[in-house]
Homo-oligomer: A and B are copies of this chain.
Amino acid sequence: MTVDTEIIDDAYALDSGLIEQVLLAVEHQSQPELLTIFAELHEADIADLLEQLHSEDRRAVIQLWGDELDAGVLTELEAGVRDEIMAETPHQVLADAVRELETDDVVYLVEDLDEAQQEKLLDSLDTADRVAVEQSLQYDEYSAGRLMQREIVVAPQHWTVGDIIDFMRSTEDLPDVFYEVIITDAMMHPVGTVSLSTIMGAKRDVRLTDIMKEDFRTIPVDQSQEDVAYAFNQYNLVSAPVIDHNGRLVGVITIDDAMEVLEDEAEEDMRLLAGLGDEELSSRVWETAKLRFPWLAVNLLTAVIASMVIALFTDTIEAIVALAVLMPIVASMGGNAGTQSLTVAVRAIATRDLTPANAKRIVLRETLVGLANGIAFAVIIGLVGYVWFGNAMLGVVLGAAMIVNLLVAGTAGILIPIGLDKLGADPALASGTFVTTVTDVVGFFAFLGLAGALLL
């Protein structure tokens, strides 16, 4: 099989010559050559490049890279490739690399390792960092506690602009990234935040409490990452203090972390709607097939249920074989209309736009939209059926079944995700299969049932 693989319109696509250069460096066994190539690339691009290599080539590149391994690249890799690389890298190289990271990145790297590996890697950190990482790991996965960084710039309430500037000038170990200073009382309860741009626009003798923002939002440390991402998006936050159960400051979350979660959540909804598991682009055939199998199995079950409905009408089909020809049309249109309603509902629930206040109205709208398009397509398909098979009553049956099925599709498409959400499940979870089961069953039943009643 040959595939012409040129993909157009990619402002940030990796130069395809790069991979050849890297492989050439491996062939020459020249670490300097490799380092020269990597020096020009962002960590995220090196990660993408590594992901695109065959796994034997990747192993050779990592070996050649040796103790120059950049832990920042590890944080940008897909989990599968990262695990593979971390398993193959000598412990000392890994330990040296990880020591360069901020604590939130260390947490991200080690959280999926087994305890022994985790222990070993954490041992190589400074005590302060080690304690910070271990504390973060005590929070639930996918919680704000895991997402936050513990490096914070804090000022007491009596400080002036001059005090905080002097403090920053004299501190060696400022966080890599921060956008605001958090003002706390003596008990470490945050009382306000001041953005760096506000501080820089103020005179030295101004008190921070006079220019601080008092109506800032804090994030509870056990809040889900999904809610954190929503808050950043909804309220245009750039950075937010994280507090523990006693209201004390324990960390800070910045927008870049929230952006990643937001992207992950949207992707997860898409995956769930399509019936995909945790596979990655680098997953192998066998693993990918295994992960997709359960979803297909559920679909098989629902397809068999639809078939059982058809089996109820074998006499009718034997009498009029045209029914077998036309019946998939009604089912297919229902599936499509149901998926439209479903996708609207899943998105609206994710963005908190579907609420108790408007749910009734939206459900009604989806039902009426189903009815409206049901009528429109009833006319069209009725004519098609009539012209094709020369039987006016067959057209009527087709049209009536279409109206019923599109009406049901609209209603099921919105009620099923709302129902899943109320049960505490992800509204996207397998809801596509539920909806098409409903539209298949109703579609076949309405069409064949009406045909039996009106045509025989």
**Which residues from chain B contact A356 at a C-beta distance below 8 Å?**
5-7, 16
- Write out, one digit per residue, whether chain A residues 328-371 have a CB within 8 A of any chain B CB (1) or not (0): 11011100110110111011110011111111111111011100
Query: Is there an interface contact between B285 and A372, defined as CB atoms closer than 8 Å?
Result: yes
A224 at the interface (CB under 8 A from B): yes
A455 at the interface (CB under 8 A from B): no
Q: Quick one: closest B residue to A279, CB to CB? A: B344
- Write out, one digit per residue, whether chain A residues 219-242 have a CB within 8 A of any chain B CB (1) or not (0): 000011001001111111010000
A36 at the interface (CB under 8 A from B): no
- Which of A45, A174, A344, A422 lies at the interface centre, i.e. has the most chain B CB atoms within 10 A of its CB? A344
Q: Which of B3, B304, B321 contacts A360 (CB 8 A)?
A: B3
- Least Cβ–Cβ distance between A123 and chain B, in angstroms: 29
Query: Is there an interface contact between A168 and B201, defined as CB atoms closer than 8 Å?
Result: yes
A30 at the interface (CB under 8 A from B): no
A104 at the interface (CB under 8 A from B): no
Q: Which of B7, B276, B322, B337 contacts A343 (CB 8 A)?
A: B276
Q: Quick one: closest B residue to A324, CB to CB? A: B324
Cα–Cα, bound, A222→B416 (Å)? 43
Cα–Cα, bound, A356→B8 (Å)? 10
Cα–Cα, bound, A200→B314 (Å)? 80
A275 at the interface (CB under 8 A from B): yes
Cα–Cα, bound, A227→B433 (Å)? 34
- Least Cβ–Cβ distance between A369 and chain B, in angstroms: 5
Query: Is there an interface contact between B328 and A303, defined as CB atoms closer than 8 Å?
Result: yes
A393 at the interface (CB under 8 A from B): no
A101 at the interface (CB under 8 A from B): no
- Write out, one digit per residue, whether chain A residues 155-192 have a CB within 8 A of any chain B CB (1) or not (0): 00000000011001101001101110000000000000
A211 at the interface (CB under 8 A from B): no
Cα–Cα, bound, A306→B332 (Å)? 10
Q: Quick one: closest B residue to A366, CB to CB? A: B288
Among listed A108-116, A244-252, A290-298, interface-contacting one: A290-298
- Given A7-B421, A307-B329, A365-B288, decide whether A355 and B13 contact each other with a Cβ distance below 8 A: yes
Cα–Cα, bound, A169→B14 (Å)? 43
This chain: copies in complex: 2
Q: Which of B5, B274, B296 contacts A359 (CB 8 A)?
A: B5
- Which of A175, A227, A318, A361 lies at the interface centre, i.e. has the most chain B CB atoms within 10 A of its CB? A361
A106 at the interface (CB under 8 A from B): no
- Write out, one digit per residue, whether chain A residues 310-331 have a CB within 8 A of any chain B CB (1) or not (0): 1100100110011111111101
- Given A256-B255, A329-B304, A363-B1, decide whether A7 and B349 contact each other with a Cβ distance below 8 A: yes
Give the interface of A toward B (CB within 8 A).
1-14, 16, 19, 42, 44-45, 48, 51-52, 54, 164-165, 168-169, 171, 174-175, 177-179, 195-197, 199-203, 223-224, 227, 230-236, 238, 255-256, 258-260, 262-263, 266-267, 269-271, 273-276, 279, 281, 284-286, 288-289, 292-293, 295-297, 299-300, 302-304, 306-307, 310-311, 314, 317-318, 321-329, 331-333, 336-337, 339-340, 342-344, 346-349, 352-365, 367-369, 372-373, 376-377, 380-381, 384, 415, 418, 421-422, 424, 433, 436, 440, 444
Can you list 21 A-B pairs with a CB-CB distance of less than 8 A? A1-B363, A8-B422, A9-B424, A14-B352, A44-B235, A165-B200, A199-B200, A255-B259, A258-B259, A267-B347, A270-B347, A271-B347, A281-B344, A281-B353, A285-B368, A289-B369, A289-B376, A296-B333, A300-B381, A323-B324, A332-B440
Q: Which 8 A-B pairs have the closest CB atoms?
A: A274-B343, A266-B266, A5-B359, A324-B324, A196-B196, A289-B372, A11-B227, A5-B356
